[in-house]
Amino acid sequence: MPKSSTIEVTLNEAGRLAALQEMRRDPRVWVLGEDVARGGLWGQYRGFLEEFGPERVVSTPISESTIMGAGLGAALVGTRPIIEMRIFDFVMCAMDELVNQIAKIRYMFGGQARPAVVVRMPHGMWRNSAAQHSQMLESWFVHLPGVIVVAPSSCEDEAGLLVSAIRSDDPVLFFDPKDLWPLSGTMPAGEIAPIPFGKARQLQSGKDLTIVTWSAIVPKVSEAATLLAKQGVHADVLDLRTLWPWDEAAVVASVKKTKRLLVVHESVEVGGFGAEIVARVIDQLGPSNVKVAKRLGAPRLPIPFSPPLENQIRVTTDKIVAAGLAVAKAG
């Protein structure tokens, strides 16, 4: 198939194809998690059991600590597990294994071991699933030494970044945007090439302000930027794609041009990764070279169930447009 040609997929299918490719490519790669032998809660492993068998597609008990910890142990003897956590919120049941063990083992033991694990953690708001099934805490892991943090928002990135994650010799925390599973898009046909970590994707370009964003909110940001353009406000829109490492150079270069920064994320604004971005940009450019730097995230609340309540606290296209206008006009 010619390299140029592309295929139509959903984001869920893009991830499935990436994992499938890597499991075919490397017999040391396997997947463990609840219901994965039945294709996984989200169907992201459909057909894996049939092709790879129960030794490499391991449906587990409801034992999050051990799903995470056994993945680590198996990595320490040379296998390369994909640790499927089903829904991010359940990772809270496996934090010792993730934070105290996986993230620290290489360092703590002076480089004697490197746990080549990918922890997949579908996260974010999803059809009124309330406080315990909607959390986004990706900023926590940027603050945690020893891990790579990936948060794709497009079919192509879901595939290419998952390939890179599976090939990484250091642990990768992979935040699937669960609200975007059905998102349809295109990706290159044939072999899925790895996408390097730490490179932002520019979605739109403009001189009036810089909008930095990632994960499930990206489509809304694109929509908002288009609406802003109709009002004559043109934004550089950067999808970071990976939060650690993150593309500080691209962000700083853009703000140097626009002098105006807006960070948009679905997670809680207070203490979110947007704060780090603002702090770094101010640090690198100096306050005097920036006209305005704002963040738009969720208020500091658990996620409510009822649609009007969720809508009230959730970052919407309208709110992004309003924030974009304010930033463009401020100062």
Ligand X SMILES: Cc1ncc(C[n+]2csc(CCOP(=O)(O)OP(=O)(O)O)c2C)c(N)n1
Active centre residues (catalytic): 133
Asked if omega into 245 is within 30° of 0 (cis), the reply is yes
* Separation between Cα atoms, residue 125 and residue 135, nearest integer Å: 7
- By CB under 8 A, residue 96 contacts a copy of itself: yes
Interactions with other proteins, residue window 133-172 (CB under 8 A) = 133, 145-148, 168-171
For residue 67, the minimal CB distance to other proteins (Å) is 9
The 3-state DSSP class for residue 314 equals coil
Which long-range contacts (C-beta less than 8 Å, at least 24 apart) are formed by 163-167? 163/18, 163/21, 163/22, 163/192, 163/193, 163/194, 163/195, 164/194, 164/195, 164/196, 164/197, 165/118, 166/18, 166/19, 166/22, 166/26, 166/29, 166/80, 166/82, 166/118, 167/22, 167/194
- By CB under 8 A, residue 93 contacts a copy of itself: yes
For residue 25, the minimal CB distance to a copy of itself (Å) is 31
Interactions with ligand X, residue window 10-69 (CB under 6 A) = 34, 62, 64
Residue from 1, 189, 249, 301 touching a copy of itself (CB under 8 A): that is 301
| C-alpha separations of 37 from 2, 49, 89, 192 in Å | 34, 5, 21, 24
- CB nearer to ligand X: give 100 or 311: 100
For residue 268, the minimal CB distance to ligand X (Å) is 22
Cβ neighbors of 71 (< 8 A, separation 6 or more) are: 32, 81, 83, 117, 119
- By CB under 8 A, residue 123 contacts other proteins: no
Which region, judged by CB under 6 A, interacts with ligand X, from 15-23, 86-94, 168-176, 189-197? 86-94
- CB nearer to a copy of itself: give 49 or 290: 290
Residue from 25, 47, 127, 132 touching a copy of itself (CB under 8 A): that is 132
- By CB under 8 A, residue 273 contacts a copy of itself: yes
Residue from 22, 64, 157, 158 touching other proteins (CB under 8 A): that is 64
- By CB under 6 A, residue 90 contacts ligand X: yes
Residue from 23, 49, 57, 75 touching other proteins (CB under 8 A): that is 75
Asked whether the beta carbons of 48 and 93 are under 8 A apart, the reply is no
